Amino acid sequence: MTIQVGQDSAKTRKTLEAGGQTVAYYSIPAAEAAGLGDFSKLPAALKVVLENMLRFEDGKTVTLDDIKAFSDWAKSGGKGDRELAYRPARVLMQDFTGVPAVVDLAAMRDGIKALGGDAQKINPLNPVDLVIDHSVMIDEFGNPRAFQMNVDREYERNLERYAFLKWGQTAFNNFRVVPPGTGICHQVNLEYLAQTVWTDVDQNGEQVAYPDTLVGTDSHTTMVNGAAVLGWGVGGIEAEAAMLGQPISMLIPEVVGFKLTGSMVEGTTGTDLVLKVVEMLRAHGVVSKFVEFYGDGLDNLPLAQRATIANMAPEYGATCGFFPIDGETLRYMRVSGRDEDRIALVEAYAKENGMWRDAGYDPVYSSTLELDMGTIVPAISGPKRPQDYIALDKAAPAFAEYIKGVRNGQDVPAKDEVRWEGEGGKPEPRDIPGDTGSHKRGFVATDDGNYQLHDGSIVIASITSCTNTSNPYVMIGAGLVAKKAHELGLNRKPWVKTSLAPGSQVVSEYLEAAGLQEHLDAIGFNLVGYGCTTCIGNSGPLDAPISRAINEYDLVATSVLSGNRNFEGRISPDVRANYLASPPLVVAYALVGDMNVNIATDVLGQDKDGNDVYLKDIWPSDAEIADLVEKTVTRESFQAKYADVFKGDEKWQGVEVNGGETYDWPATSTYVQNPPYFQGMGKEPGTISNIEGARVLAILGDMITTDHISPAGSFKESTPAGQYLVERQVPVREFNSYGSRRGNHEVMMRGTFANIRIKNEMLDGVEGGYTKGPDGEQTSIYDAAMAYQDQDTPLVIFGGEQYGAGSSRDWAAKGTALLGVKAVVAESFERIHRSNLVGMGVIPFEFTGGDTRKSLGLKGDETVDIKGLDDVKPGQETPCTITFADGSTKEITLKCRIDTAIEVEYIEHGGVLQYVLRNLAFGDAVAAE
The pLDDT score that the predictor gives to residue 245 is: 84
CATH no., domain 691-928: 3.20.19.10
Q: Give the mean model confidence (pLDDT) for residues 226-254.
A: 89
Read off the pLDDT of residues 277-287 as tens digits, 9 standing for 90 and up.
Answer: 999 999 999 98
Read off the pLDDT of residues 864-898 as tens digits, 9 standing for 90 and up.
Answer: 999 999 999 998 999 999 999 999 999 999 999 99
Per-residue pLDDT at 349 exceeds 90:
yes
Cα atoms in the Cβ-side hemisphere of radius 13 Å centred on 238: 33
The pLDDT score that the predictor gives to residue 676 is: 92
660: buried, middle or exposed (CB in 10 Å: 19+, 13-18, 0-12)?
Answer: exposed
Per-residue pLDDT at 405 exceeds 80:
yes
Which DSSP helix (H) or strand (E) runs through 49? Answer: helix 44-56
Rounded distance, CA 637 to CA 756, Å? 43
Q: In sequence order, what are the residues at sequence separation of 6 or more whose Cβ sits closer than 8 angstroms to the Cβ of residue 225?
A: 231, 307, 310, 313, 320, 321, 322, 323
Rounded distance, CA 726 to CA 748, Å? 15
Of 211-225, 334-348, 533-547, 849-863, the least confident: 533-547
Rounded distance, CA 771 to CA 173, Å? 45
Rounded distance, CA 97 to CA 103, Å? 10
Beta strand extents in 714-798 (DSSP E only): 770-772, 778-780, 795-798
Of 104-113, 134-143, 292-301, the least confident: 134-143
The dihedrals phi and psi of 295, each to the nearest 5 degrees, come to 105, 165
Read off the pLDDT of residues 805-835 as tens digits, 9 standing for 90 and up.
Answer: 877 788 999 999 999 999 999 999 988 899 8
Which DSSP helix (H) or strand (E) runs through 612? Answer: strand 612-613
Helices (H), 752-809: 781-790
pLDDT-based confidence at residue 927 (cuts at 50, 70, 90): very low
Q: Give the mean model confidence (pLDDT) for residues 572-584.
A: 94
Percent of the residues in the chain that have a pLDDT greater than 90, as a whole number = 73
Helix orientation angle between 472-488 and 622-632, rounded to the nearest 10 degrees? 110
Looking at every residue in the chain, the average pLDDT score rounds to 92
Read off the pLDDT of residues 739-752 as tens digits, 9 standing for 90 and up.
Answer: 889 999 999 999 99
As a 3-state breakdown, the chain gives helix, strand, coil percent values, each rounded to 5, of 35, 20, 45
- CB 540, CB 449: distance < 8 Å: no
The pLDDT score that the predictor gives to residue 855 is: 97
Cα atoms in the Cβ-side hemisphere of radius 13 Å centred on 22: 3
Eight-class DSSP state of 601:
T
Helices (H), 94-211: 95-114, 146-171, 185-188
Of 196-205, 209-218, 406-415, the least confident: 406-415
Q: Which CATH architecture has domain 379-633?
A: 2-Layer Sandwich (3.30)
* CA 534 vs CA 248, 529, 572: distances in Å: 32, 11, 8
Rounded distance, CA 622 to CA 396, Å? 26
Helices (H), 742-824: 745-751, 781-790, 811-818
Per-residue pLDDT at 78 exceeds 80:
yes
Read off the pLDDT of residues 454-492 as tens digits, 9 standing for 90 and up.
Answer: 999 999 999 998 888 889 999 999 999 999 999 999 999
pTM of the predicted structure, to 2 decimals: 0.85
597: buried, middle or exposed (CB in 10 Å: 19+, 13-18, 0-12)?
Answer: buried
The pLDDT score that the predictor gives to residue 417 is: 54
pLDDT-based confidence at residue 322 (cuts at 50, 70, 90): very high
Q: In sequence order, what are the residues at sequence separation of 6 or more whose Cβ sits closer than 8 angstroms to the Cβ of residue 850?
A: none
Look up residue 297 and give its amino acid.
G
Q: Give the mean model confidence (pLDDT) for residues 522-532.
A: 92
* CA R_g for the chain: 27
Q: Which residues pair with 232 in a beta bridge?
A: 215
Q: Which residues pair with 453 in a beta bridge?
A: 442
- CB 524, CB 496: distance < 8 Å: yes
Rounded distance, CA 349 to CA 325, Å? 10
Rounded distance, CA 155 to CA 282, Å? 39
Cα atoms in the Cβ-side hemisphere of radius 13 Å centred on 586: 36
Rounded distance, CA 770 to CA 782, Å? 8
Classify the C-alpha dihedral 506-510-513-518 as positive or negative: negative
Give the 3-state secondary structure of residue 178: strand
Q: Please, what is the Cα angle at 582 between 580 and 588, to 5 degrees?
A: 100
Domain ranges (residues) in the chain:
379-633, 691-928
Rounded distance, CA 230 to CA 211, Å? 8
Rounded distance, CA 396 to CA 556, Å? 14
Of 624-638, 781-795, 828-842, the least confident: 828-842
Rounded distance, CA 561 to CA 571, Å? 9
Per-residue pLDDT at 605 exceeds 80:
yes
Rounded distance, CA 472 to CA 633, Å? 8
* CA 924 vs CA 7, 242, 444, 629, 920: distances in Å: 20, 16, 66, 55, 8
Cis peptide before 711 (omega within 30 of 0): no
Per-residue pLDDT at 419 exceeds 60:
no
pLDDT-based confidence at residue 846 (cuts at 50, 70, 90): very high
Rounded distance, CA 234 to CA 462, Å? 27
pLDDT-based confidence at residue 925 (cuts at 50, 70, 90): very low
756: buried, middle or exposed (CB in 10 Å: 19+, 13-18, 0-12)?
Answer: middle
